[in-house]
Chain A
Amino acid sequence: MPVATPKKVKKDSNIRVDAQRKVSGKAKFIEDVEYKNILHGATIRSPVTHGRIRGFKNRDEIKNMPGVKAVITADEIPGDNIVPFVKEDYPCLAEKEVKFYGQAVALVAAETPEEAKAAAETAELIIDEYPGIYDSIESMTPDAVYVGGDDNVHSYFKIRKGNIDEGFKGADVIVERVYNSGHQVHCYLENQGMIAEPIQNGAISVKGSMQCPFYVHNALVKVLGFKYSKVRVVQADTGGGFGGKEDMPSIVAAHAALLANKTGMPVSLIYDREEDFHTMSKRHPSRTRIKYGATTEGKLVACEAEYIVNGGAFCTLSPIVAWRGIIHITGPYEIENIKADSYAMATNTVPCGAFRGFGQPQVNFANEILIDELAEKLNMDPVELRKKNLLKPGSKTATNQVVGSSCGMAETLDKTLDKIKFKEHKGNDKGPVKKGMGISTVFYGVGLGAEGKYFAKAGAQVHIKEDGTVFVAIGNVEMGQGAETVFNRICADTLGCSYDMVEILEPDTTRVPDSGPTVASRATLVGGNAVKDAALKVRDSLFKAAAQKMGVKPFDIKIKDGKYISDEGEIDYVDVVDLAYLSRERVAAQGWYKVENVSFDEKTGLGDAYPVYSYSTNACEVEVDTETGVVKVNRLVAAHDVGKTIHPPSAEGQIQGGAAQAIGYALYENLVLEEGKIVNPSLSGYTIPTTMDLCDVEPILVESAYDEGPFGAKGLGEPPMVGPAAAILNAIHDATGIWFRKIPCLPEDIVKELNKDINKEPKELK
């Protein structure tokens, strides 16, 4: 049996595949893409939070300004004046009414960015100002100004399980509290930006910073009134998304495309930081009222919760955010009797949308403090209380979904406590600086779930070239989270080639079928499975070619260390490719994956909400300076059950980055709105923590394999952001004896509460 000469197997680097081009500055973000002749767009925006548009006072003047090539208002939109999200309420350009400060009303294109901006700033709109409503609770009152949705409700969901009244009757101890959280800004490094360009056959091509090329594609079809085949969307290297580039790029792209369509020239539309702050989505501010009932032994018997988020002026993704919130609002516990309601309210503020965690950080912050408050009332260790109630394989979630075998909940808790050496301090340090420890536990439904199942699919193409190198086309994107590396590993490990042989192509909607969005921690599970499916199909050709050569059956072949091996010998991967080419086997294939078996009954709120859940535990040690109110997180340990890890450094990076963002959410980030207008729309006014403020986050990877996942993997993008806020506030309680129920928890809040406490018994709010 002839065996090919063994070639030196290249020892693969464990470095992310996108690292080099990014750290060396070679990556081309949309602002780096150069054109010889290109126009620059700018947006004319509403100067008020609510009003009726009467007209455009100086349109002719704007048109005649230096360099200006086009001015576009709503009446010139060739297709529908709608950017399609969950509902069709968000106009591409405001026509009659403006509903938030900074809403787009008109567009200009000019020869230079300065000329475009000057024109936009010179524009004067005639607007009759209406009273606005800015608070979600006020928006619920009967005499509130109408903003949108159904009586200002963008969306409503409920869960009814068991018998809530009976449940609480059986409880020995009941605690009920209200928790509030503020807006959070994504603060991606790269602002929103798109370049639109008319291409051959009357089509428009758009390239830019985005998470969801297919959403953008749909929006362009709608707004331009084009056929699907006359639109092309390509994702450029994207400098962070965190959800902020899920739905919003559709607006930016539609605006750029309208200008390109009208002028017949490429148009670049790049936001500056202030514009991005004022107009792009944010994390929903929330009010969560939650009530736990438990027996004296610590068994949770009932939970009632109400979750109200401020959705802002338009619906965008609020329904799904509020849905994810309510599915998880009772915490990672098995509870028989549940009543939960969630409302996304319309207000005259910037529309809120997707942000890492997607409605879950708000509710986790609430239920995970409440569980500690309950433990205090029961005079029980909060760890013990959790252990008595945590979900495990076979448990039922709030929606009556049976937890599958991939559930590392308990293991994440044990490993976290062990690593941080958890013990409660109860603020017994001498001096003004008090230390404290806190924990939080999280379960997280991976992917879009039952309410987003229409998008729960992905396609990919794997195409092996003559020398064994591979092109992978996939519709899910790299935005800094490591997807390229994950797809690379999944493809290479399936084919048995080395990592450096696999190239991930830039996502292009003309090259792969609609793969759904790159959100909800779904890229590894759904996109990864599509890549694997395609790679397996091509591998069949390789098996066939190798089998023929070795005189065995294809199923007799195994892959090990870059070789195709049978009892009759072994052949190097590249030589197998050579054989496949010689025998003209198929060397390219489409892969497909769709998520099945999810359900949600809107009447009861019960069903198999997500295909699988990820589990995590966060524990931290904080130092509270009781005299200045400054809190420092000294240590943060986070253990995540990820199914199986595809690329450990990226997974650990996700955990660390998510925790950093959560520390900012809990302690620093304070977006201030006055009368619906953001007053600190900048990175100097809106404080995010720097590396000087952060501790080394200590990640732990727990592996409880998920059979459906590629190589057993689940999802990890969002969970690291979900839990730390509660752990931090629980630690602050441990240090000071005070429950803080609002985030951001600022030095002012701490000093205020501590000074209130002088000469008083610790408060017991009822």
Chain B
Amino acid sequence: MLPEFNFKRPETLREALKDYSSENYKLIAGGTDMIVEMRKEKDIDYDILDISGLGELKGIKKEKSKIYIGALTTFSDVFTSAVITKEAPLLKEAVRNAGSLQIRNRGTIGGNICNASPAADSVPALVALDAEVNLVSSDGERTLKLDEFITWPYDTDIKEDEILKSISFKPAEYTGYHFYKLGRREALAVSRMNVAVLLNIKNGIIESAVISPGSVMPTPGRVNEAERLAEGNKPSGELFEKAGVKVSEIMIEQSGIRWSTEYKKPVIEQMVKRALIFAAGIKT
């Protein structure tokens, strides 16, 4: 049962920032995570600032060679966007199976990032794209790298009066990409693990590799050690196997051995390998 709470729905970003800086508000955008959490609470001792009406924070545009995704853009809007389809198909794939259709219609990219769940589907893809988050408060704006913004599971570096305005990135140079999601079922499933990869192969040699797993490390981020291993080499099953093993080593280094490691270790190795093989377009 959803406890009673007060809420306000500002119509402009300016109004929202003013309210947000002065009162004890929590933000709600699509609500697909927030409402679930609020239902678990007995009393809600904060007020809700519903920013879902802020048109300024919606939409996708390309400006000066950078892609901007408004924080309130829904998964469905990202999925159908011509800009994303052309410039960042990796992100399109990442949101394809996030939640359910209903969740994708309501859930926003900004909410997915600010909730900072390790299982967020959009985050590994955005990290692979070197995305930045653009934050705004009454004091002004600032920009942070997405992988630095998320500091711990369900925790970010956002300040009390800041609102995430947009996510931006430069279209990556790549020849192949892949997003691999492993859930408990084919639909309506939280990612148990996922991984986003980009490969740029020139003259048969991997010039650059991006490997960005999700639900594997405490915080999102690329696995540079695995990327270095791949770079400068010819793509092959053995090479990608090594990259996968490197990812699992780093996972254990960062997350330690848990009850789930027995499963996650061998499986993330294979997921990374498969994603890279797919991105390289090779047969094994």
Question: Which of A's residues lie within 8 Å of B, judged by CB?
Answer: 113-114, 117, 121, 272, 432, 627-630, 668, 684, 687, 689-693, 747-748, 751-752, 755
A736 to chain B, nearest CB (A): 15
Chosen A-B contacts, 23 in total, with CB atoms closer than 8 Å, are A113-B1, A114-B1, A432-B270, A627-B266, A628-B271, A629-B263, A668-B185, A684-B190, A690-B185, A690-B186, A691-B187, A692-B187, A693-B187, A747-B263, A747-B267, A748-B260, A748-B262, A748-B263, A751-B263, A751-B267, A752-B262, A752-B263, A755-B266
B270, A690: Cβ atoms under 8 Å? Answer: no
With A628-B271, A668-B185, A747-B263 known, 17 other A-B pairs at CB within 8 A are: A121-B42, A627-B270, A628-B182, A629-B267, A687-B184, A687-B189, A690-B185, A690-B188, A691-B187, A692-B185, A692-B186, A693-B186, A747-B267, A748-B262, A751-B262, A752-B263, A755-B266
- Cβ 8 A contact of B185, one of A114, A627, A687: A687
The residue in chain B whose Cβ has the minimal distance to the Cβ of A42 is: B1
In whole angstroms, how far apart are the Cα atoms of A113 and B2 in the complex? 12
Residues of B within 8 A of A693 (CB): 185-187
Complex interface residues of chain B between 182 and 233 (CB less than 8 A to chain A): 182, 184-190
In whole angstroms, how far apart are the Cα atoms of A748 and B260 in the complex? 8
6 cross-chain pairs, A with B, having the tightest CB-CB distances, nearest first: A692-B186, A627-B270, A692-B187, A748-B263, A687-B184, A690-B187
In whole angstroms, how far apart are the Cα atoms of A532 and B25 in the complex? 67
Contact-residue bracket for chain B? 10 to 19
In whole angstroms, how far apart are the Cα atoms of A407 and B51 in the complex? 66
Question: Which of B's residues lie within 8 Å of A, judged by CB?
Answer: 1, 42, 182, 184-190, 260, 262-263, 266-267, 270-271, 274
In whole angstroms, how far apart are the Cα atoms of A272 and B40 in the complex? 13
In whole angstroms, how far apart are the Cα atoms of A747 and B192 in the complex? 11
In whole angstroms, how far apart are the Cα atoms of A630 and B181 in the complex? 12
Residues of A within 8 A of B190 (CB): 684
Residues of B within 8 A of A689 (CB): 185
The residue in chain B whose Cβ has the minimal distance to the Cβ of A121 is: B42
In whole angstroms, how far apart are the Cα atoms of A748 and B184 in the complex? 11
The residue in chain A whose Cβ has the minimal distance to the Cβ of B100 is: A690
Residues of A within 8 A of B266 (CB): 627, 751, 755
B63 to chain A, nearest CB (A): 38
- Cβ 8 A contact of A668, one of B42, B184, B188, B267: B184
A276 to chain B, nearest CB (A): 14
Residues of B within 8 A of A755 (CB): 266
Residues of B within 8 A of A272 (CB): 1
Residues of A within 8 A of B185 (CB): 668, 687, 689-690, 692-693
The residue in chain B whose Cβ has the minimal distance to the Cβ of A667 is: B185
Residues of B within 8 A of A668 (CB): 184-185
Residues of A within 8 A of B267 (CB): 627-629, 747, 751
The residue in chain B whose Cβ has the minimal distance to the Cβ of A748 is: B263
The residue in chain B whose Cβ has the minimal distance to the Cβ of A664 is: B185
The residue in chain A whose Cβ has the minimal distance to the Cβ of B42 is: A121
B270 to chain A, nearest CB (A): 4
Residues of B within 8 A of A691 (CB): 187
In whole angstroms, how far apart are the Cα atoms of A432 and B186 in the complex? 19
The residue in chain A whose Cβ has the minimal distance to the Cβ of B185 is: A693
In whole angstroms, how far apart are the Cα atoms of A630 and B266 in the complex? 13
Q: In the complex, which of the residues B187, B266, B271 has the most CB atoms of chain A within 10 Å of its own CB atom? A: B266
In whole angstroms, how far apart are the Cα atoms of A687 and B182 in the complex? 14
The residue in chain A whose Cβ has the minimal distance to the Cβ of B182 is: A628
Residues of B within 8 A of A629 (CB): 263, 267
B186, A117: Cβ atoms under 8 Å? Answer: no
The residue in chain A whose Cβ has the minimal distance to the Cβ of B186 is: A692
In whole angstroms, how far apart are the Cα atoms of A432 and B266 in the complex? 13
In whole angstroms, how far apart are the Cα atoms of A272 and B1 in the complex? 9
In whole angstroms, how far apart are the Cα atoms of A165 and B152 in the complex? 63
Q: In the complex, which of the residues A117, A272, A690 has the most CB atoms of chain B within 10 Å of its own CB atom? A: A690
A683 to chain B, nearest CB (A): 9
A500 to chain B, nearest CB (A): 37
Question: Known: A117-B1, A747-B263, A748-B263. Contact between A628 and B184, CB under 8 A?
Answer: no
B150 to chain A, nearest CB (A): 22
In whole angstroms, how far apart are the Cα atoms of A444 and B182 in the complex? 38
In whole angstroms, how far apart are the Cα atoms of A747 and B184 in the complex? 9
The residue in chain A whose Cβ has the minimal distance to the Cβ of B189 is: A687
Residues of A within 8 A of B263 (CB): 629, 747-748, 751-752
